[in-house]
Amino acid sequence: MKEVVLVSAVRTPVCRVNHQFTHTPAENLAALTLMEATTRAGIKAGKVGQIIIGCVLQQGEHSYLARVAGLMAGFPASVPAFTPNNLCCTGLLSVILGTQSIQAEAESVVVVGGSENVSQTPMMTSKVNGRTMMLDMVDVVLTDPILKQRVGWTVEKLAQDYSLTREEQDLFALNSHRKAVQTMATDGYGEEIVNIKPLQCDGSETKELVVRDGGPHHNMKLETLARYKPVFMSGGTVTAGNSSIPADGAASAILMDSKRALRGAVKPLAKVKGYATVGVEPLKMGLASVRAIRKVLKQTGYRLADVDLIECTECFAAQMLAVGKELNWEWQKVNVNGGTLAYGHPFGASGTIQLVRLTHELKRRGGRIGLAVCCAGSGLGAAVLIEAY
């Protein structure tokens, strides 16, 4: 089976909903990362065999976002593209699908990624039993269709099962913000971010150049988090402060057959050593990451102790704490620059953003093995394990 390498990995800043990227469509964000990823790798767009850019909130042009973004980025019309949706696992699923395509010898160069602009998600109408209802599509995505409950409600159940206190969850969220702020203060992002001039409502570029993530709170305090009220259950412990909030952003990475990369003098950043997709009971959604990690470690023969850095989607503080209790992992290796609790959660892009951050952080720290993992509503999970080149 062909060895797959990662030769380029970039992302936009992640911005809060209805802030800098309000008027910049998801396809524009994706196109920017596509152009930057190919430029950095020194690969001509016409040499790419497939574009896979995921998106969760697929309405209008977002329904075929990968194709639109590819054409906007200057890729030839002959390069096919598709847009998967696997809820919060979408960004990692794109990486897995691209890897499988190369391993199957269908392609030798694949661009993968994810993009989301929650700010531009429309309200929709639905006629049921003669009644017209307004639907918030973000709320629809965050509601489990089997349980008929918000995903956060399942995390409340998880917090109860693992005896997680409100204070523990708030402190975890606070530390995520602190790590993110510290990283930003020391310019710890290195080469992973591509700067962007957002669009205005008339479609013209602003003069402002967005170079930093907009989510982390510099003055976040535990007392502030303590004032938030439970969102999903009366008397509960899960609040807006210890949950990730929707955000806007995009990321892209280029995967190649290692032999072709080396023949073309393209320097790899990392090898894809393994990947896993899993399912668990919808009520245990937050624990899907546990099964995904165990599956990919068994597949590759590594132990959790062998992993130098872990990027795990922080959908909720309670979900992260429960996963930590199950795996007994070393917390100093996990989300070292903060996570989605601080940055925000662009649903379809977060998985790829994690992989981008992981790849560059391994290089900065001289680490060898990295693991990106996520869970998603309805009980989905995905993981990708890489080795720095």
Active site members: 88, 345, 375
In angstroms, what CA-CA distances link 248 with 16, 28, 164, 290? 6, 12, 30, 27
Distance between CA 183 and CA 342 in Å, rounded?
12
Distance between CA 387 and CA 273 in Å, rounded?
7
3-state secondary structure of 67: helix
- What torsion do the CA atoms of 343, 317, 360, 254 make, to the nearest 10 degrees? -80
In angstroms, what CA-CA distances link 84 with 288, 299, 387? 19, 24, 25
What are the structure tokens assigned to 189, written together? 């992002």
What are the structure tokens assigned to 33, written together? 């990362």
Whether the CB-CB separation of 270 and 308 falls below 8 Å is answered with no
Strands 143-144 and 369-376, how do they pair? unpaired
Main-chain phi, psi angles of 95, to 5 degrees: -65, -45
Distance between CA 126 and CA 98 in Å, rounded?
36
3-state secondary structure of 96: helix
β-partners of residue 174 are none
